[in-house]
Structure 1
Amino acid sequence: MSDATFSVRIPDDLRQEVDALAKANRRSRSFLVKEALQAYVDEQRTYREAIEEAIKEADETGEFISWEATGRWLKSWGTPDELPPPEPDILLKNRK
C-alpha cells in the first residue's frame, strides 16, 4: 500500500498547535495529522459498527426503549435520584 498526498485547509491557529505538538514530540506535522486522522477514522468506524449492531439486535428481538423512558433516565443523570438505565418497554412480536 502506498501513501498518497491529501491536502486540507485548516485554520492557522490549529496548524500552529499541530506544529507545536510536532516539535514537542519530535515528530513531523504529517505524522501527527496522519495519526490523528487514523484515530478519528477508527473511532467513527467503531461507532458506526456499534450502531449497526444495536439496530440489528433490536430488529431481531423486537425490543425497544421508548423515547419517554430514555428521556426520564437522561434527565435523572447527575441528580441524587439518578435512575438505572431503562429496560425495553416496547415489545414487538419476537422476530427470532
Structure 2
Amino acid sequence: MATENLSIPLEVGPKTDLEAEARRERRSESWIAERAIEAYLAAKKRKREAIDVAVTDADKGVFVSKEAVDRWVESWSNGEAAIKPAPDILPPDK
C-alpha cells in the first residue's frame, strides 16, 4: 500500500500519552497514531451506516419505542445486557 506523510500538531498531553503508549507497545509513535486514525475512521463509518439505516426505517414509519429502549438501557446496569430491541412501532397496514 502506498503511504504518504502527515504532520499533525499535538498538544503536550496527547503527545506524551502517544509516546508512552508507543514505548509500552514497543511500536513507533506513527504506528500507534495510524492504528488510532484507522479505528476512528472505522467507527465514524459504522456510525454513519447506522444512521442511514435508522433514517431509512424512520422514512418507512418504523421505530423503537422509548419504553423498549429504556428497558434495553436498564439491562446494561444489571449485568444482563439484553439484545437491542426490535422496532415495535410500525406503520398501519394498508
Q: TM-score, normalised by structure 1?
A: 0.64
Cα distance change, pair 37–7 in 1 and its aligned pair in 2 (3 A): same
Residue 17 of structure 1 is matched in structure 2 by: 17
1:26-65 maps to which residues of 2 (within 5 A)? Answer: 26-60=26-60, 62-65=61-64
Identity %: 33
Deviates further, 17-26 or 85-94: 85-94
Q: Flag the structure with higher strand content.
A: 1
Q: Distance in 1 between matches of 2:65 and 2:25?
A: 48
Secondary structure of 1:64's counterpart equals coil
Q: Distance in 2 between matches of 1:43 and 1:20?
A: 24
User: What is the RMSD computed on CA atoms of the aligned residues?
Assistant: 3.3
Q: Distance in 1 between matches of 2:71 and 2:44?
A: 28
**Is the 2:22–2:29 Cα contact (8 Å) retained in structure 1?**
yes
Q: Distance in 1 between matches of 2:43 and 2:10?
A: 22
**Which runs of 5 or more structure 2 residues have no equivalent in the other structure?**
none
Q: Distance in 2 between matches of 1:91 and 1:26?
A: 53
Please list every run of at least 4 consecutive aligned residues from structure 1 whose deviation after the TM superposition is greater than 6 angstroms.
none
Render the CA deviation track for 1:34-60: whole Å, top value 9, x for unaligned: 111111111111122122123223434
| Count of matched residue pairs | 93
Cα distance change, pair 73–21 in 1 and its aligned pair in 2 (3 A): closer
Q: Compare CA radii of gyration and give the structure with the larger one.
A: 1
